[in-house]
Structure 1
Amino acid sequence: MAAEVYREALRLAADIRDKYLRAVTYAKIGYYMHRAKHPEYKTAFKYAFNVVSSMENPFLAAKALIEIGTYLWKTGSKTSRKVFSQVHEAVMGFPQPVRDDLLEELVVRLLELGMTDDALFYVMDMEDTIKRNDLLLKILRVYLKHGNMRKAYLIINQIEDEPWRSIAAVETVKVHLKREEFGSAIRILTELKSEYWLGEAMKEVAMYLKTADVPRATYEKFVDIALSLSGETGSDVLNSLLVGLGAQGEVEFVIGILERLPEGQRIPVLEGIVSASADREDILRRLLELLKGDEFEHIAGFTMDRLLSRTMSDRYSSLVKFIGNRTREDAVLVKVATYLAKLGDFESAWEFASKVRGHYLRSLAFGSIAVAKLKTGDIDGAIDAALEVKDPKWGSWLLSEILTKILELQTEGEINEDIEAKAESQRAIWEKG
């Protein structure tokens, strides 16, 4: 019964008037006959070739051969490669742009079939550089996916135009990094002519080095490349690289590099490390221990801002107290007191709040303690905290706010943590008055 079905299919296909569709249909029937282990499947392909030989339109004949070759390949037939070669020979005699269009179709089909070497061979005959380079990149990615670095380098050397050559280089660098072939990655980086694409490649390096266990000598080589870049691109690349290294724990190394940079370039890197390491108190501690003066104060304040924007955690208590003991800035002490108060460590929070000298900032420090105490139901403790601000104006203001919040808690069942915003509003009123 099955044999009759295929014979009937072949008979019906003969009635298809469009020769292109008839040839392709014969090829499809041959493919499915092969899958069904029908011994006469070659007959179907023979019919397909006979139809092509009678076609008067060479363009459609070439397209039909691509389809026939595809189905032959799926049967495992070696003849398919000869069919694709026949297509190539025929197409080379076509005028442009038809020639390149058909070559593109042939190359794409070969890639779909996994015939990557054949695709590379035929793509080089394309005259349209944009199409050729786009296809070369597709072929490159196949070789990179399978780890064929020799062929990958062959393609890079075949591409002369930008940005394709640089894109190919960056794609190859990514693979070398994953394979931990750092020497090869560095060699490609040094050969890149475009500063923009070198910058893009270095950003890939920075992303990789955030998690990789790489020898320090390798870091230094990548940093040297980044330092060789100029302008905004160079700064962005170096910053990304150093942030990645710092977040990985190479804090001392990063600080050593920062000493060679202008002051204005240091702060963004340090802030980047803090942001990338917000869940690593050990790295934050080591970073802050290495900083001095205004740089320490700035990063200490930035670190406290990051911690206050996250869920409070006792594991940061030691780090926060370290910052409180080292800082000379009232604004930072306020943040330290606020964090510790939110943790419920009122004794330490009180200690650091007491060091705040400015009346306005002192009101913020003790205000945060008072609000935290109210949240625990300690009304007397909240009032005591408010009374620690001795300045007549700010002391009165804070006491008023805390008394209001006591009533707010009684009636609403909760209180808003808006002491800082209200203090800023009050200060603006007094300054205008």
Structure 2
Amino acid sequence: MVIDEIIETVETIPDPYLRATTYAKIAERLAKINDKRFKFVFIKAIETSKNIEDPVKVMKALLSIGYSMAKSGLKTSKKVYQRVVEDSKSLPAPIRDELMALAARYMLGLGEINEAIYYASEIKSEGLRDAVLLQIIRRNTALIGSEKVKVAYRIRKSKMALEMIHSEPFRSKALIEIMKSYFLMGSYENGINVIKEIGLREWAKYAFKEALFFLKEYGVLERYVIPLKELSKELVEKFGEDFKIELAIAFALTGEPFEAADLIRKLDGKELLVEASLRLLDVSPKHLADFIRTLNDREAAVVGKAVMNRFLEKPEDGDWEVVRAIWERTGNEEVMVKMVRYSLLRGDVEGAMRVAERIRSERLRSIALADIAHSLLKLGNVSRAIDVALEVRDRRFSSILMAEILLSAADTEIEKKVIANGTAKGLNGKKA
């Protein structure tokens, strides 16, 4: 079908709204190939819109036509939009708001940030206005990331839009976009300072983590550790003491375990280290292992006890890299006993033995060896269980353990001799 036939056939579309917008879209395509007929087709689109009975649909059609005209490079598109703005003033606020939101989004599609902000400012509904303004700011940030030109100009426009946003979470989300814009501009300290203005705890936490990831990716994190720490203190004052954990976890998750540990030490003590560690265990065991390796012996002992208790309660949560990190950082023998038990739960008797060999306390070593002996006994390795029991230095404890092993071994042998009818035979083969 040739172009002329296509244009003529549009007239057969029954719905005048779809007929008008179809004309406009065909005209837009003709303009792309420099076909001179595109202006004529746009005129057909405008004339067809006059046949739409619903005044709201007329305006929606004009917005769509104006968008196609702008895409085709026709400056008269702005007059079409101005006409809609004027004609829509007599409409009820909710209906006009929808039209202005649509106009703003069309302008956004064209990259016309100023125009988009203008139409958004005409929206009376705070929620809808703020949602559209947030879309505008996000689009502006994306343009900064792709263009790398007029960055300062675009940030000014985003800030202008921000001034009109009053409700949450739109304002907090918009501030995050402005933070990103500053980072893309290379103005890192300004970006960090924007986080202070965020009003919601959840989005402040998100912004802090995003800032760490961004600065790390750009290789400048070390230069901004001090302002980040200052910011973290302000956020703790703003959102409460438990926000310390969020900040420490953010540092840890971005591969800065030293900063994470240091933040907790400066803000408060060991209980927070434990809480942060257990949270990291839930989120990323790999980062927990790195975090534990930054701790001193006493800190690692406190954290190690809590983490190993979790592993003993839920062996499926266990992670050998975390266990290895605890092993490397603390010589606490109570923690070692827990490691022995965990190793046995996972079926690693040899690993349990290696840990037990490092325990010097007679009482704790006895407990660890008793656990190993019991595990060997369950595996049916009686002779080795006896050997382990003989290593227990406490004579009374060793004696109790040996007696228990031998009685258990005897019970096992007797059970083996139980015949089908449940009657045991003596060693001579006769019924006992």
2:137 corresponds to 1:143:
no
Higher alpha-carbon deviation: 239-248 or 33-42: 33-42
Amino acid at match of 1:143: N
> How many residues are paired up?
394
Q: Which amino acid aligns with 1:342?
A: D
Residues 189, 198 of structure 1: 8 Å contact kept: yes
Corresponding letter in the other structure for 2:17: Y
Structure 2 counterpart of 1:381, one-letter code: R
The 10-residue stretch of structure 1 (59-68 or 358-367) with the greater mean CA deviation from structure 2: 358-367
Alpha-carbon separation, structure 1, partners of 2:412 and 2:176: 59
* d(CA) in 2 for partners of 1:318, 1:403: 41
Distance 1:273 1:217, change over 3 A: farther
Match for residue 172 of structure 2? 166
Matching of residues 300-311 of structure 1 within 5 Å: 300-302=304-306, 304=308, 310=318
The one of 23, 31, 37 equivalent to 1:26 is 23
Q: Secondary structure at the match of 1:235?
A: coil
Q: Distance in 2 between matches of 1:142 and 1:102?
A: 20
Match of 1:332 among 297, 319, 336: 336
- Residue-by-residue CA offset, 1:395-433 (whole Å, 9 max, x unaligned): 44455667889999xxxxxxxxxxxxxxxxxxxxxxxxx
Question: Is contact 1:210-1:245 (8 Å) kept?
Answer: no
Kindly, what percent of the aligned residue pairs are identical?
A: 24
Contact 1:383 1:402 in 2 (8 A): no
1:153 correspondence with 2:164: no
In structure 2, the partner of 1:191 is: 197
* C-alpha displacement of 1:37: 5.8
Residues 394 and 254 of structure 1: CA distance in aligned 2, closer, same or farther (over 3 Å) = same
The one-character-per-residue Cα deviations of 1:7-57 (angstroms, maximum 9, x if unpaired) are 5425545xx4x5434433433443455567653232222122223346564
Q: CA RMSD in A?
A: 4.3
> Aligned runs of 1:213-228 on 2, under 5 Å?
213-216=219-222, 218-228=224-234
Structure 1 residues 177 and 328, CA gap change in structure 2 (3 angstroms): farther
Name the counterpart of 1:267: 274
Match of 1:422 in 2: none
Aligned to 1:258: 265
Q: Is the 8 A contact 2:280 2:288 kept in 1?
A: no
How big is the shift at 1:134?
A: 0.9
Matched, 1:62 2:59: yes
Deviations 1:285-344 (A, max 9, x none): 341xx242xx4432233455688755657x976962663xx2142x53341586499283
Residues 333 and 356, structure 1, Cα contact 8 Å, conserved in 2: no
1:98-109 matches, within 5 Å, as 98-109=95-106
Q: Is 1:44 the counterpart of 2:41 in the alignment? A: yes
1:142 deviates by 0.4
Q: CA deviation at 1:79?
A: 2.9
- Other-structure match for 2:83: 86
* Structure-1 separation of matches of 2:69 and 2:414: 85
Q: CA deviation at 1:238?
A: 1.8
Matching residue's letter, 1:348 = R
Q: Show the counterpart of 2:418.
A: none
Q: Determine the C-alpha separation between the residues in 2 that align with 1:127 and 1:303.
A: 54
Match of residue 118 from structure 1: 115
Give the aligned partner of residue 381 of structure 1.
384
Asked if 1:344 corresponds to 2:350, the answer is yes
Q: TM-score, normalised by structure 1?
A: 0.72
- Worse-superposed segment, 184-193 or 172-181: 172-181
Instruction: Report Cα offsets for 1:95-124 as digits up to 9, x if no partner.
Output: 323221211222223333443332112111
Q: With structure 2 as the length reference, what TM-score do the two structures score?
A: 0.72
Give the C-alpha shift of residue 225 in structure 1. Answer: 2.8
Of 51-60 and 163-172, deviating more is: 51-60
Check conservation: 2:333, 2:364, Cα contact below 8 A. Answer: no
Shift of 1:224: 2.6
Match of 2:208 in 1: 202
Give SS of 1:357's match.
helix
> In terms of mean alpha carbon deviation, does 205-214 or 241-250 score higher?
205-214
Q: Please, which of 71, 75, 80 is the counterpart of residue 72 of structure 2?
A: 75
Change (3 A) 1:30 1:202: closer
Distance 2:262 2:84 in 1: 62
Q: 8 Å contact 2:101–2:120 — kept in the other structure?
A: yes
Secondary structure of 2:166's counterpart equals coil
Find the aligned partners of 1:404 and 1:176 in 2 and give their Cα distance.
75
Name the structure 2 match of 1:415: none
Query: How far does residue 352 in structure 1 lie from its aligned partner after superposition?
Result: 3.2
Cα distance change, pair 241–305 in 1 and its aligned pair in 2 (3 A)? same
Alignment counterpart, residue 298 of structure 1, candidates 296, 302, 308: 302
One-letter code aligned to 1:258:
R
**Alignment partners' CA distance in 1, 2:239 and 2:403:** 53
Residue 102 of structure 2 aligns to a residue in which SS? helix
Q: Aligned partners of 2:5, 2:102: CA distance in 1, in Å? A: 33
Rounded Cα–Cα distance in structure 1 between residues aligned with 2:186 and 2:408: 60
Aligned to 2:251: 245
Given that residues 336 and 359 in structure 2 are in contact (C-alpha distance below 8 angstroms), is that contact kept between their aligned partners in structure 1? no
